[in-house]
Chain A
Amino acid sequence: DTAVSQTPKYLVTQMGNDKSIKCEQNLGHDTMYWYKQDSKKFLKIMFSYNNKELIINETVPNRFSPKSPDKAHLNLHINSLELGDSAVYFCASSHVTGGTGELFFGEGSRLTVL
């Protein structure tokens, strides 16, 4: 039973399109994250939600909009895709309040913008 699952695993799309990535965790964690990993493998945090509230919102274009309908889900919607958005996007979750913050990652969603 997958702890953090994200879909789809691969997206190939044209510039200007809109796409969404979904993420679900069944670990009972209170915090969820979106990370972007570029071609050099650098991991950059994009957003973090704690109990459905946005707590980290790094410098990310406002074309990226996260949504957390409940504690177990954090989706990422991207408008007007650009070439530079091509990357692997990782969802993660952790138990922050009273926990160690250890991150559990999904398998990643590889986005290719043509």
Chain B
Amino acid sequence: AQSVTQLDSQVPVFEEAPVELRCNYSSSVSVYLFWYVQYPNQGLQLLLKYLSGSTLVESINGFEAEFNKSQTSFHLRKPSVHISDTAEYFCAVFGRTGNQFYFGTGTSLTVIP
């Protein structure tokens, strides 16, 4: 089985400041890793994913995440946030031999003008 821990439930940050949303996972098998974003009153959208290859993956809106196998982490970063980044962010894992997603409890990112 797998599990996901998002260490911060709420992260307030000023506009144009950098941000890191932390995610750690545990798994006995190889995993695929995902970050989903949920804007207010909307569904979840895929932000970025790690399947294989380069451990650094990027999204189209400036977020990036790095897969660290030794630390079993997949932290999400952005060097300069915008007001429009205010949302709930979910880290998730999918075991390559399983059939279930495991979500973290979410991190609420609030960008302050």
* A and B associate: yes
A contact set with B: CB distance below 8 Å: 31, 33, 41-43, 45, 48, 50, 55-56, 90, 92, 94, 96, 100-108
CA distance A102 to B46 in the complex (A): 8
- Distance in Å: Cβ of B7 to nearest Cβ of chain A: 16
Residues of B within 8 A of A45 (CB): 100-101
State the interface size on chain B (CB cutoff 8 A): 22
Contact A41 B108, CB 8 Å, known A100-B32, A100-B51, A108-B43:
yes
Is the C-beta of B54 less than 8 angstroms from some C-beta in chain A?
A: no
Main secondary structure of the interface of B (DSSP, over half): strand
Main secondary structure of the interface of A (DSSP, over half): strand
Q: Nearest 7 CB-CB pairs, A to B?
A: A101-B94, A107-B43, A105-B43, A105-B44, A43-B103, A41-B106, A96-B99
Residues of A within 8 A of B72 (CB): none
- Pick the most buried of B38, B51, B99, B105: most chain A CB atoms within 10 A of its CB: B99
Residues of A within 8 A of B106 (CB): 41-43
Is the C-beta of B49 less than 8 angstroms from some C-beta in chain A?
A: yes
- Distance in Å: Cβ of A50 to nearest Cβ of chain B: 7
- Distance in Å: Cβ of A113 to nearest Cβ of chain B: 19
CA distance A105 to B101 in the complex (A): 13
Residues of B within 8 A of A33 (CB): 101
Is the C-beta of B25 less than 8 angstroms from some C-beta in chain A?
A: no
Q: Offer 8 A-B interface pairs, CB within 8 angstroms, sorted by A.
A: A41-B88, A42-B105, A45-B101, A103-B36, A103-B44, A103-B101, A107-B43, A108-B42
- Distance in Å: Cβ of A99 to nearest Cβ of chain B: 9
